[in-house]
Amino acid sequence: MLFNSFGYLAVFLPAAWIIFFACCRWLPSWRLGTLLVLSIVFYGYWDPRFIPLIALSIVINWLAARWFVRASKSWIIYGAICANLLTLAAFKYLNFLLGLLPIRWAATPQFDIVLPLGISFFTFHHVMYLTDLRRKLAPQYSLIEYGLYIAFFPQVLAGPLVRWREVMHQFARPFSGDEQWKRAASGLMLIILGVCQKTMLGDNLAGIADPVFKAAESSPVTPTDSWIATLAFTFQIFFDFSGYTDMAIGSALLFGITLPQNFDAPYRATTLQDFWRRWHMTLSRFLRDYLYIPLGGNRHGVSVQLGALLTTMTLGGLWHGAGLTFMAWGALHGGGLCVDVLWRRSKLPMPPVICWPLTFLFVVFCWVLFRSQHFDTAVRMYEALLWSKRAGGDSHLSAVSSATVICIAAVLAFFLPNTSEIVSRIQSRPIYAVGFGLLAACAALTLNSSESFEFIYFRF
């Protein structure tokens, strides 16, 4: 069920909160079990066939953790991690890998596989916990506690990627006291801001970007359309994913759980390294701690560091989707980070007034690969962006209205504080309640009157 649907906002979330609050009040020992059942119901709403998948995933990994604690054999953890990654590969990458086979094997069958929602995210949660357990950093938990860590409904589908140490102690904390009610109030405000970002900005920007990228799949597009569509997608993916994250964090706060932040004004970054410290922050730290550092990081010389960066970002791109364009997107960012490392080691000056536009333009150009399903589409978009003679065709956009929406999005992305800062600064005054009430009404009207687009990161 989509966070930006009436089914979630008007039915599931209120009902889940009432049930949870009732358990906290009258049956506190059932609190975590009830929250786990609600999370499984939420996950299974999209397709009940995937309930056994996530349930077996939880039970098998929990049993592997118990076995490791008793036997102290590292191969148990390695085997469990490999099993998780192979399951992810079977669902997400099998057809992609078969498609890479030589032409003489072109008759290799393609399988009709439905990608389970959230499998990339809950697989990474398993990997984080099991890795830390092997390092003797993580304790053992009960089946209900571990199941809730994996399946907690605000973060099971598209993150944030949460470390066990960030939430497990919160699950054990009773829902009571003024502090919890303050969290719930902040959660409601974040949900409202998230819906507004998604419906008022993300979806409108999608309506600008999608027709141009669709046209570029089969024919050249005009330079103006290409620039407008590329900038529209640049801000669409930010407000779409940031809006989702705010709704996820806000939903968790309603249940007394604080999830980590995922965005910190990424388009204000002045270097590519700075961008990845601000964009999808929980994925960035996962790639750093569980891939980049184990590959050598910056501890074994510059050549190892550059190789680790390029490998990490290429695999990070592949994690986003089973396609060569995703790998190329990740490899480009890896190459950019390598240039960043070499430039910093050279100690050559680079004024911020130059760093920021260069970083932003690099990110914008890379988003073309991310958005394009095929290289032909990306090539046509790049030709138009660079005003190549091969660019052309009919315009698919109203330049003035499209540019207006993009300018509004740009101002908000570049100059406003992030939503967590906005909510943290708000005090209990009637004027703020009125303002958020109006925002909620506008979001509800937008939901009712326009097409509801799926969150971009639900595909990953």
Task: State the pLDDT at residue 306.
Answer: 95
Q: What are phi and psi of 39, to 5 degrees?
A: -65, -40
The pLDDT of residue 162 is above 70: yes
| Helices then strands, each counted (H, E), the chain | 21, 0
What tens digit of pLDDT does each residue of 269-325 get?
A: 999 999 999 999 999 999 999 999 999 988 888 999 999 999 999 999 999 988 899
Report the interhelical angle of 203-216 vs 375-385 (nearest 10°): 100
Q: For residue 10, what is the DSSP state?
A: I
Q: What is the pLDDT of residue 421?
A: 84
Q: Which pLDDT value is given to residue 107? A: 56
Q: Which residues are catalytic?
A: 320
Query: CA 12, CA 245: separation in Å to the nearest integer?
Result: 18
**R_g of the chain computed on alpha carbons:** 23
Six token digits for residue 73: 């054999």
pLDDT cut 70: percent of the chain above it: 90
Residue 460 has pLDDT above 70, yes or no: no
**pLDDT value, residue 118:** 87
Residue 172 has pLDDT above 80, yes or no: yes
| pLDDT level of residue 347 (50, 70, 90 thresholds) | confident
> Does pLDDT of 176 surpass 80?
no
Average pLDDT, the chain: 88
Task: Write down the pLDDT at residue 181.
Answer: 81
pTM equals: 0.92
What tens digit of pLDDT does each residue of 219-278 get? 999 999 999 999 999 999 999 999 999 999 999 999 999 999 999 999 999 999 999 999
Rounded to an integer, the average pLDDT of 156-180 is 86
Percentage with pLDDT > 90 across the chain: 62
The structure tokens listed for 386 are 């660079």
Q: Is the pLDDT of residue 396 over 70?
A: no
Q: Are 337 and 363 in contact (CB under 8 A)?
A: no
Rounded to the nearest 5°, which phi and psi values hold at 97? -65, -40
- How far is residue 177's CA from residue 110's CA, in Å, rounded to a whole number? 55
Exposed e or buried b per residue across 81-120, where buried means at least 16 C-beta atoms within 10 angstroms of its C-beta: beebeebbeebbbeebeeeeeeeeeeeeeeeeeebbbbbb
Backbone angles phi, psi at 114, to 5 degrees: -90, 125
Residue 356's pLDDT band (boundaries 50, 70, 90)? very high
Residues counted in the chain: 460
Q: Residue 362 pLDDT > 90, yes or no? A: yes
Taking only the tens place, the pLDDT of each residue in 20-79 is 999 988 998 899 999 999 999 999 988 898 999 999 999 999 999 999 999 999 999 999
